[in-house]
Structure 1
Amino acid sequence: MKQDTWQVAVLDDHPLISKAIQYRLSQEADLALAGSFSQRQQLMAFLRSNSVDVLVLDYLLGEDELDGLQMVKQLRVQYPQLKILVSSSVEKPAIVKLLLKAGVHGFVGKSQDQEVLIKALYEVCRNKHFLSAEMLLEMDKFEENDREMHDYLLPRELGDDIALLLRELSPRELEVIRCYLDGLSVTQIAGKYARSRKTISGQKQTALRKLGLRSDLELFKYKEHFSGLAVHL
């Protein structure tokens, strides 16, 4: 007997990406676009009265939206039967590991060809998990190198999620963030370590990006997690 058409919803605040996914799904007889949304509230309202098999979820939405990890956790509580496939330009193994731990069924980087997304959708619809060969390799490397950051962190004093992401940061990035949270400005940190303001600013922004944070306000929410850092430059 032929499988019924799988219903796919998309939450992505980039209209061109949503349109591209919609066009590609129209070419698949077994996949149908149930709805495409740019805001979390729109999706949640839709899910209350419509059946969806798989959600393609962008990890980074607008500034006023929940981050991808919190969104996944909320969806897993409210809609435990919903399968979630995360699509993101943030292709970091630490973040993928956190997402898998939170209950997603797959991850596709936005650098991947759209055919990879279609393949992932079929795998997830069939109750399988999907990671690209490239991401599996990156995650293997991440696991191998995971011990290196233990020289700089006190894992028992950190929350599991932020501790895992902190291991993506270099020692210099960690120190810049620690100093910033201690109240030093970018200019003061540059003077302290005899580096240019541009270098310090760049390291700070790179650290924020690796942590999946969009603003200083979000960074300060995690201030307590940095108090146990022992960094040696």
Structure 2
Amino acid sequence: MLLDDHAMLRQGIELGLSNEADLHVVGSFGTAKELLEALARRPADVVVMDFILAPSDNDGLSLIQALNRRFSQCRPLIVCSHYTPATVSLSLKAGCWGILGKTQNLTELITAIRTVAQGRIYLQPCMVPALQGMQSMLEVVSMKSKMDYATPLRLNACLTPKEQEVLRCFLDGMSVNSIAAKFSRSASTISTQKQSAYRKLGIKNDSELFKFTQQFGEFE
């Protein structure tokens, strides 16, 4: 379902998604009230919604909380013009599954919808620094894990490709020196990338990394 108080934007998104065989828009609404009433009649896997609606309408955080409380199987995906570290952090804590800037193209939106529909958190890489103020990325993941979803969560969107490959190799039992030799990088660079990934995921040591992957699945 789509929620935005700009009809032209909704129509453009709906037209773009109509070419995707696996994505079906089952409703398009201009107010939170219309959306909630529609969800009571017909479920949806993902709600693509603006964070800032009309002044007389619900604020984004309240709506995300209402969606999680009343329609727990529906995953909110925010598409917004502007975002701040507080917006990203608070939205995730409230129960949002993804955040995408309106400056992105339709292809990126389609990727975000599919990611969220699979039970995975979607974030643009440029939004990752906004999470540094959170106590831990695991704080968000732990909250999500309490919901009854079969698909394990992965936070690959938070990590660079090099950070992901370093963690994958480490989980395969390779040492820092072995990983450095494999990718023709210095051991110092590998260590830096590993620690950067740990910081983004909110984990402090190797033990927490193994616990993370056991609970939520390994990095793709």
Give the alignment's TM-score, normalised by structure 1. Answer: 0.55
Which residues of 2 match residues 97-176 of structure 1 at below 5 A?
97-136=89-128, 138-139=129-130, 143=133
- Find the residue that maps to 2:27 and give its secondary structure: strand
Between the aligned partners of 1:127 and 1:34, the Cα distance in structure 2 is 19
Structure 2: gaps (5+ residues)? 135-220
The corresponding residue for 1:44 is 36
The corresponding residue for 2:79 is 87
CA-to-partner distance for each residue in 1:168-220, whole Å, 9 max, x for gaps?
xxxxxxxxxxxxxxxxxxxxxxxxxxxxxxxxxxxxxxxxxxxxxxxxxxxxx
- Find the residue that maps to 2:76 and give its secondary structure: strand
Between the aligned partners of 2:37 and 2:26, the Cα distance in structure 1 is 13
CA-to-partner distance for each residue in 1:59-111, whole Å, 9 max, x for gaps?
00001101101111111111111111011112212111100001111000112
Query: Is 1:72 matched with 2:55?
Result: no
Between the aligned partners of 2:57 and 2:133, the Cα distance in structure 1 is 30
Q: CA deviation at 1:135?
A: 1.3
Identical-residue share of aligned pairs (%)? 34
Between the aligned partners of 1:45 and 1:143, the Cα distance in structure 2 is 35
**When the two structures are aligned, how many residues end up with a matched partner?**
134
Between the aligned partners of 1:45 and 1:101, the Cα distance in structure 2 is 24
Q: CA deviation at 1:129?
A: 0.6
Query: Is 1:12 matched with 2:4?
Result: yes
Q: CA deviation at 1:133?
A: 1.3
Given the alignment, which residue of 18, 21, 25 partners 1:33?
25
Give the alignment's TM-score, normalised by structure 2. Answer: 0.58
Which residues of 2 match residues 188-227 of structure 1 at below 5 A?
none
CA-to-partner distance for each residue in 1:149-181, whole Å, 9 max, x for gaps?
xxxxxxxxxxxxxxxxxxxxxxxxxxxxxxxxx
Structure 1: gaps (5+ residues)? 1-8, 145-233
Between the aligned partners of 2:28 and 2:130, the Cα distance in structure 1 is 30
